[in-house]
Structure 1
């Protein structure tokens, strides 16, 4: 048992040091657990993300490393890659079939919460493209927009608003994103929020236009029906059949 434990520890150290894939492969062939973890609970995959070692991340994934394994603070490999702003590693992880893009850490924050908090705009957009809800809550009811608004991250705010995040979504602790932005003095973000709220009237406008279009179509249908009736009446009055010469 101690021998296995020692090998697992050596495996973790090898990944932490950034040793060669060849050496890592040798350790795996000796029966090392691909999902072994250190004293903080961090897995090999998480450690590879901490090292920003894309090659190692890809290699460990080919060896069936648990992509959703959580370590310190409940952070997964994806959350760690997001925190560090490693767009390339985030992309690798998102391409894993079983990755849980909405897995929460100990604070109830998901990858997109952290991306918004650290102003990683490209990652925010990429996560939204994976059907992550724009208004997903953490443990205190804050959405990614709340954190982006709190920190004055204009670009992240813009992206989240365009994907339907609500400026009026209430966090019991901090209030709505609009209220947070006002309190923090982020006037540009406040104006963006107000504009987004103004534009929420569009569904009503579109609804009215839809009714008007429907009414218009009914009018056209009635007119066409009347034209057909008149044509039929005219055809009954006049004989338009061809006259054949005897």
Structure 2
């Protein structure tokens, strides 16, 4: 005997959102493009404040990042911790994605909730090539975080003389 009660929808808004973010995380560009064509808000944020762009960047999905930026994803949206897509990329060391983000207008000196920048994360996690790229892209080596520490001081603490010299050479005070 069939029930007259309405069935629960197969794709609830929550399930659609989860699928959308999984698609970005896994770099499934064809399906991601379908979500966008179907009207999914490209800058929609999940409960952690992540966008599809932030997730694609963090998981090194270069083609998905290209697609999202081409379709108008905002590279300066911050998550619940105040981090942008560039912050995660700096931490991971994904220079090709950082190049795309900066070309698309990402703020190279955006601060997270602790006032740390992408350059600071690159230095903290030993991503020297990323740090050098960010410096060349105009990152401020004199920025002070919430604890009063600058990128130069972080590099000094890491004992990286080459990076310290490079940072000090960018005298933009």
TM-score tier after normalising by the smaller chain length = 0.7 to 0.9
Matched, 1:148 2:151: no
1:65 matched to which residue of 2?
Answer: 40
Q: Give the RMSD, CA atoms, in angstroms.
A: 2.1
Per the alignment, do residues 66 and 152 of structure 1 end up closer, same or farther by CA in structure 2, a change over 3 Å counting? same
Q: Which ranges of structure 2 fall in alignment gaps of 5 or more residues?
A: none
Quote the residue 2:99 is aligned against.
Answer: 125
1:81 aligns with 2:61: no
Distance 2:91 2:53 in 1: 15
**Separation (CA, whole Å) in 2 of partners of 1:71 and 1:2:** 28
- CA separation in 2, counterparts of 1:150 and 1:172? 15
CA contact (8 A) 2:26 2:56 kept: no
| Unaligned runs of at least 5 residues, structure 1 | 10-35, 202-246
TM-score (norm. length: structure 1) = 0.63
**Could you tell me how far 1:174 is from its partner in structure 2?**
6.1
Contact 2:115 2:145 in 1 (8 A): yes
Distance in 1 of aligned mates of 2:148 and 2:28: 37
Q: Secondary structure at the match of 2:143?
A: coil
Query: How does the TM-score come out when normalised to structure 2?
Result: 0.88
Q: Distance in 1 between matches of 2:74 and 2:51?
A: 9
